[in-house]
Structure 1
Amino acid sequence: LSLWEDRWGSDAVEGTLSSRFSGVIRRAYENTGKQAVVLIDEYDKPLLQAILNEPLLEEYRSILKAFYEVLKSSDRYLRFVFLTGVTKFAQVSVFSDLNQLNDISRDYDYNTLCGITKAELIETFTPEIFRLATVEKLTFEETVLSLEKRYDGYHFCEDTAVGLFN
């Protein structure tokens, strides 16, 4: 929040984390005339880390809930909100104030969005794959096959031909 406030400004009356977050979103919109995009990567990580510590889990849940409440109240300033995570925490009411959530994790139109396909792996990481092949004393093709055996095959939707590297 401090970095965003350095860029978009702050207000002394914003004393809570959620009011600061709300202020940043609003000022970003006011300064640019464009709605903000919010990406929350691995929203579930704090909850997973505290899953066996009930007091800490409750504290994290409360903090996250306050942030997510801001997303609803700031709707007019937001173009898009994207949350990623591997676990659905419906039972901890973190998202109870959000409506119109669209879970795309099993949507065929987006089934390769949250992973790396074989084609993307080769296109993006060819130099690294060649280096790994050299270290492992394998050919490029053998290295890709080894990576496929170890990391490929995740499917968000049933009956999809393309597996994702995870």
Structure 2
Amino acid sequence: KNPDEYSLATRFEGVIRRAAEKTGRNTVILVDEYDKPMLQAIDNEELQDEYRSTLKAFYGALKSMDRYIRFALLTGVTKFGKVSVFSDLNNLRDISMLKAYERICGITEEELHSVFKDGIKDLGTANDMTEEETKAKLKELYDGYHFNEDCVDIYNLSGLMITLDS
């Protein structure tokens, strides 16, 4: 443990720097549900302020470590990015509604039916459902992400576990 890394932000900076130095390549960062702490405290202003302060410093590390970062993707369900949590970052680009990125945060229906074909059959068998009934149930439960008009159906299967056995 590095004694200079005394906070979440400085530890995050250290992880980014060491990853780049160890591999000789800039890091790629994925932060899923960046807004979860803020959403969990939505009715508690004091906790919101505390989270906002912690997250501001944490995400500020992205700015200070820019030379070590190749790409960062932050996902969430809110537009907290427009508030003080990201005030230190001036290089954020909201790609949520851009057609070029519509498939990036989920599985398309085509991918679901081809890659997980055997898993869907097994899931149906385990639940006394036909393959078509299983597909319809998956659509009902997990389809619904549409990041722009006329985009493909995007499934978020975070609550579903299907394994790919090799």
State TM-score, norm by structure 2.
Answer: 0.85
Whole-angstrom distance in 2 between the partners of 1:39 and 1:68: 12
The answer as to whether partners of 1:61 and 1:92 remain within 8 angstroms in 2 is no
User: Which ranges in structure 2 are unaligned for 5 or more consecutive residues?
Assistant: 157-166
Give, as a single letter, the amino acid of the residue that structure 1 aligns with 2:155.
Answer: F
The answer as to whether partners of 1:45 and 1:85 remain within 8 angstroms in 2 is yes
Q: Which runs of structure 2 are paired with 1:115-126 in the superposition (5 Å)? A: 115-126=106-117
Q: Which runs of structure 2 are paired with 1:77-116 in the superposition (5 Å)? A: 77-90=68-81, 92-116=83-107
**Matched residues, percent identical?**
58
Give, as a single letter, the amino acid of the residue that structure 2 aligns with 1:163.
Answer: D
CA deviation after TM superposition for structure 1 residue 62, in Å: 0.9
Residues 7-44 of structure 1 show CA distances to partners (whole Å, capped at 9, x for unaligned) of xxx42222222122212222222222211111111101
State TM-score, norm by structure 1.
Answer: 0.85
Correspondence 1:66 to 2:57 = yes
Aligned match for 1:38, one of 4, 26, 29: 29
Change (3 A) 1:11 1:151: closer
User: Which ranges in structure 1 are unaligned for 5 or more consecutive residues?
Assistant: 1-9
Stretches (4+) displaced over 4 A: none
Correspondence 1:51 to 2:42 = yes
Q: Return the structure number with greater strand share.
A: 2
Whole-angstrom distance in 2 between the partners of 1:115 and 1:51: 26
CA deviation after TM superposition for structure 1 residue 83, in Å: 0.3
The answer as to whether partners of 1:153 and 1:165 remain within 8 angstroms in 2 is yes
Correspondence 1:164 to 2:164 = no
RMSD: 1.7
Match in the other structure for 2:143: 152
Aligned match for 1:128, one of 116, 119, 122: 119
Residues 40-85 of structure 1 show CA distances to partners (whole Å, capped at 9, x for unaligned) of 1110111100111111111111111111111001100111111011
3-state secondary structure, aligned to 1:87: coil
Whole-angstrom distance in 2 between the partners of 1:158 and 1:134: 35
